[in-house]
Amino acid sequence: MSHLSREACLALDEADPLRDRRDLFDLPEGIIYLDGNSLGVLPRAVSARLAQVVAEEWGRGLIRSWNTAGWIDLPVRVGSRIAPLIGAHADEVIACDSTSVNLFKLAAGALALRPDRKVIVTEPGNFPSDLYILQGLSDLRPDLEIRVVPRDLLVQALDDTVALLLLTQVHYKTGEVHDMAALTEGAHAVGALTLWDLSHSTGALPVDLTRAKVDLAVGCGYKYLNGGPGAPSFTYVARRHQEGFRSPLTGWMGHAQPFAFVDDYRPGAGMARLLCGTPQILGMAALEAALSAFDGVDMAVVRDKSIVLGNQFLSLVAERCGGDLVPACPADGRLRGSQICLRHPSGYAIMQALIARGVIGDFRAPDILRFGFTPLYTRHVDVWDAVEHLVQVMSSGAWRDPRFAAVAAVT
């Protein structure tokens, strides 16, 4: 047996170039947190910053803070800090609204950029909002065809009727990674645009929208970016499309002159037109502070560690847990996001038993246990200890306790 030992994990942590980043996070004692792909851990900088925003900027500054504390510029400022993480120019990204709302804006805007086409291609099993938003859009546009095609047939499904290819780069459930550059090239070859959902990519692996020539993208602020529950999303429109881009949600904050209070809508310059209503300042301030954890971080280093952590988890499970837990993610780390997924018919109860022991992952129906690895704060020894708990839960049958079968509202 060639078990990776706990001592070997401790040695790897000692040599980890990201070792010191963990101190930037307020990790609860006794918890192994493997769910940063769903809700990132609280960065210490956020607590301090939020206390200041509430007490000083809101409490004392009141409405003056829109100008004096720079609140009005937060969407642009936060967007420009996310840009380097996704290979975008600073003026191509803005933070606002939720990922779901931004998907609507970008999908509708893409249709307006391709007025003679009426097909959107996506894949079955995409994240629910990505599919539901398209279904809602087709209620408004009865001529629209939503072509839902399995991933191995996507390229064949592209033809000159297609306006938009909408995909999630890293699959939320299985962690599979699409070849973003190749699929974007395939879409462009037939004159279609691409909209990439980067919710499970941003902050987890290097993304290069410019190199892949992506047209439009959205992503999530509360997963690997650690912006807090319901943090603002971000949206990307390539420079070449900004001039002609029309958001269907023409709120006053996206107007060229919001404080002119005129009756007729005129889109703001560049990404400003993606704004709709008043920015959520507390959430924006939290996200901005959270992003400081990425200052000076090389995403290639993050990616390398993420692959190692995932590979270690997979091989320890294979060696130590018997055959009951079946991997549902690619074995090749390069084809996988920063998560490991295991299938088990009683996956929900097993995850509850793990959570009761302080190992927090999550469950995705119908049968997937999901473990996320966040290289800024997940250690090699956490992987080892988490698998040890899993071994104990499986071998003792502890998960069969009826209290682990009660399904909560949020899984």
Ligand X SMILES: *Cc1c(COP(=O)(O)O)cnc(C)c1O
- List the x/- string, 182-201, binding to ligand X by CB under 6 A: ---------------x-xx-
Report if residue 202 touches ligand X, rule: CB under 6 A: no
Closest CA to 135 of 113, 103, 168, 171: 103
Which tokens belong to 41? 């851990």
Report if residue 379 touches ligand X, rule: CB under 6 A: no
Q: Give 389-395 contacts, CB < 8 A, sequence gap 24+.
A: 389/32, 389/354, 389/357, 389/358, 389/359, 390/317, 390/321, 390/325, 390/350, 390/354, 390/359, 391/320, 391/321, 392/357, 393/350, 393/353, 393/354, 393/357, 394/321, 394/322, 394/324, 394/325, 394/350
- Residue 389, Cβ neighbours under 10 Å: how many? 17
Given 9, 22, 71, 99, the residue binding ligand X (CB under 6 A): 99
Q: Report the alpha-carbon distance of residue 268 to residue 344 in Å, rounded.
A: 50
Give whichever of 12 and 40 is closer to ligand X, judged by the CB atom: 40
Catalytic pick among 223, 273, 305, 336? 223
Given 65, 80, 129, 174, the residue binding ligand X (CB under 6 A): 129
Least separation, in Å, of the C-beta of 82 and ligand X?
Answer: 15
The SS3 assignment for 225 reads coil
Give whichever of 178 and 200 is closer to ligand X, judged by the CB atom: 200
How many residues does the structure list for the chain? 411
Report if residue 411 touches ligand X, rule: CB under 6 A: no
Q: Report the alpha-carbon distance of residue 257 to residue 266 in Å, rounded.
A: 8
Least separation, in Å, of the C-beta of 398 and ligand X?
Answer: 30
Least separation, in Å, of the C-beta of 283 and ligand X?
Answer: 11
Give whichever of 109 and 232 is closer to ligand X, judged by the CB atom: 232
Residue 33 is among the residues annotated as catalytic for this protein: no
Least separation, in Å, of the C-beta of 64 and ligand X?
Answer: 31
Least separation, in Å, of the C-beta of 223 and ligand X?
Answer: 6
Beta strands in 123-205 (DSSP E): 145-148, 162-168, 193-197
DSSP run (H or E) holding 140 = helix 128-140
394 and 325 Cβ atoms separated by less than 8 Å: yes
Catalytic pick among 224, 370, 373, 404? 370
Give whichever of 100 and 138 is closer to ligand X, judged by the CB atom: 100
Residue 223 is among the residues annotated as catalytic for this protein: yes
Report if residue 130 touches ligand X, rule: CB under 6 A: yes
Taking CB under 6 A as the criterion, which residues in 55-94 touch ligand X? none
Give whichever of 92 and 130 is closer to ligand X, judged by the CB atom: 130
Catalytic pick among 33, 172, 222, 234? 222
Give whichever of 197 and 288 is closer to ligand X, judged by the CB atom: 197
Give whichever of 98 and 280 is closer to ligand X, judged by the CB atom: 98
- List the x/- string, 228-267, binding to ligand X by CB under 6 A: -----x----------------------------------
Report if residue 168 touches ligand X, rule: CB under 6 A: yes
Which parts of 15-98 fold into alpha helices (H)?
44-52, 65-68, 74-82
Catalytic pick among 127, 294, 313, 404? 127
DSSP run (H or E) holding 5 = none
| Amino acid, res. 174 | T
**In DSSP terms, which residues pair with 94 in a beta bridge?**
235
Binding segment for ligand X among 126-134, 150-158, 179-187, 250-258 (CB under 6 A)? 126-134
Least separation, in Å, of the C-beta of 172 and ligand X?
Answer: 4
Residue 377 is among the residues annotated as catalytic for this protein: no
Least separation, in Å, of the C-beta of 344 and ligand X?
Answer: 22
Closest CA to 91 of 102, 104, 75: 75
Residue 197 is among the residues annotated as catalytic for this protein: yes
Q: Give 132-135 contacts, CB < 8 A, sequence gap 24+.
A: 132/100, 133/100, 133/103, 133/104, 133/107, 134/107, 134/166
Residues whose CB is less than 8 angstroms from the CB of residue 337 and which lie 6 or more positions away in sequence, other chains included: 37, 170, 171, 175, 176, 177, 200, 201, 204, 205
Give whichever of 66 and 132 is closer to ligand X, judged by the CB atom: 132
Given 25, 71, 172, 384, the residue binding ligand X (CB under 6 A): 172
DSSP run (H or E) holding 363 = strand 362-364
Least separation, in Å, of the C-beta of 42 and ligand X?
Answer: 18
Residues that bind ligand X (CB under 6 A): 98-100, 127, 129-130, 168, 172, 197, 199-200, 220, 233
Which residues are catalytic, by number? 127, 197, 222-223, 370
